[in-house]
């Protein structure tokens, strides 16, 4: 079934300022949608049910992209589990409940591939959910995301709500977080190689052994997939979104080195955690519907580094001041 969304329909992008939300706003604008609703954190605390209800009552969105959340890499997940669990569970609960109360026609909830068991068979299919223990380094975040999926399914079952859930692989691109204390591996490596080059250093330290395998999707491809799913998908449970292709962390670091600091030497700190040994998604369900990514990894990383360089003095989180570069 295809959802025919009028170009003037009120569409709420929850989390519009983040990596994913900003990409969805760009994608919707390119499609010609004219009534995109957003709310900054200082305008609306998505953890506050009363405030979210008031906002929905006042703005009456027909479609919702629920992509807001507290996110981070291994270090952030390992040191702030309570924050990751509380913030994300509350954000998912308030928005989903308000969407039900105020008659939202369709909601897309964005999860994460970390919902799947640490040792799930690879590539990971959607039915691997809840079949084994989670990766300990991001368990709190994963539990919150699993709860969000089940919440959407529960509202679908009990109230007939048209709420769907998409599970992206590791993301990167414009508006990413480059703060070494809270970022994911790809933007963290861009920052590390950039800083080393700026300081004239020849060695760059990389956490772990370099052997884990990861899949990476440019956020503009994800935004395209989200718009596609909002229009073309209406099933319960998660649907994977990714490339279906993975690389080792060493290979990723070598690609970033070649783009940012070609003369750098890679130094692996094997006392640091690797995380899951491999994580690549089976994307056969979404590709069977007719969607495929278009941005190659090396091309996407080069474009992301150009964005990083262009925004060094913009105050983006983790983007270093222009003088450093």
Handedness of CA 209, 211, 212, 213 (dihedral sign): positive
Determine the length of the chain.
325
Active-site annotation holds for 141: yes
Catalytic one of 141, 155, 172, 233: 141
Single out the residue of 151, 290, 175 nearest to residue 227, CA to CA.
290
Q: How far is CA 244 from CA 102, 223, 234, 307, in A?
A: 37, 17, 22, 25
CA 119 remoteness from chain centre:
21
Q: How far is CA 180 from CA 22, 61, 114, 193, 283, in A?
A: 21, 36, 20, 12, 30
Give the three-class secondary structure for 215: strand
β-bridge partners, 273: none
Distance CA 194, CA 200 (A): 10
Query: What is the set of active-site residues?
Result: 141
């Amino acid at each position: 079934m295809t959802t025919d969304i009028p170009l003037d329909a009120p569409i709420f992008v929850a989390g519009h300022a983040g990596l994913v939300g900003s990409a969805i706003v760009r994608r919707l604008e390119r499609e010609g949608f004219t009534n995109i609703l957003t709310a900054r954190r200082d305008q609306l605390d998505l953890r506050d049910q009363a405030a979210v209800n008031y906002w929905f009552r006042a703005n009456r969105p027909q479609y919702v992209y629920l992509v807001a959340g507290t996110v981070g890499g291994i270090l952030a997940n390992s040191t702030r589990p309570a924050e990751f669990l509380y913030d994300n569970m509350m954000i998912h609960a308030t928005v989903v409940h308000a969407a039900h109360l105020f008659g939202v026609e369709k909601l897309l909830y964005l999860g994460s591939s970390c919902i799947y068991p640490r040792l799930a068979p690879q590539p990971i299919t959607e039915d691997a959910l809840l079949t084994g223990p989670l990766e300990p380094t991001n368990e709190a975040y994963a539990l919150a995301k699993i709860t969000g999926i089940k919440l959407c399914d529960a509202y679908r079952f009990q109230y007939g709500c048209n709420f769907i859930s998409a599970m992206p692989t590791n993301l990167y691109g414009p508006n990413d977080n480059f703060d070494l204390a809270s970022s994911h591996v790809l933007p963290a490596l861009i920052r590390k190689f950039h800083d080393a080059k700026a300081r004239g250093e020849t060695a760059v330290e990389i956490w772990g052994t370099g052997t884990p395998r990861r899949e990476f999707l440019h956020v503009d491809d994800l935004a395209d997939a989200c718009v596609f799913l909002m229009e073309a998908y209406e099933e319960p449970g998660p649907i994977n979104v990714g490339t279906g292709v993975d690389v080792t962390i060493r290979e990723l670091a070598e690609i970033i080195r070649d783009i940012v600091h070609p003369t750098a030497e890679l130094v692996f700190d094997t006392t640091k955690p690797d995380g899951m040994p491999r994580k690549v998604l089976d994307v056969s369900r979404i590709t069977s519907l007719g969607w495929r990514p278009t941005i190659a990894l090396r091309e996407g990383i080069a474009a992301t580094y150009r964005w990083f360089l262009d925004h060094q003095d913009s105050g983006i989180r983790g983007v270093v001041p222009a003088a450093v570069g």
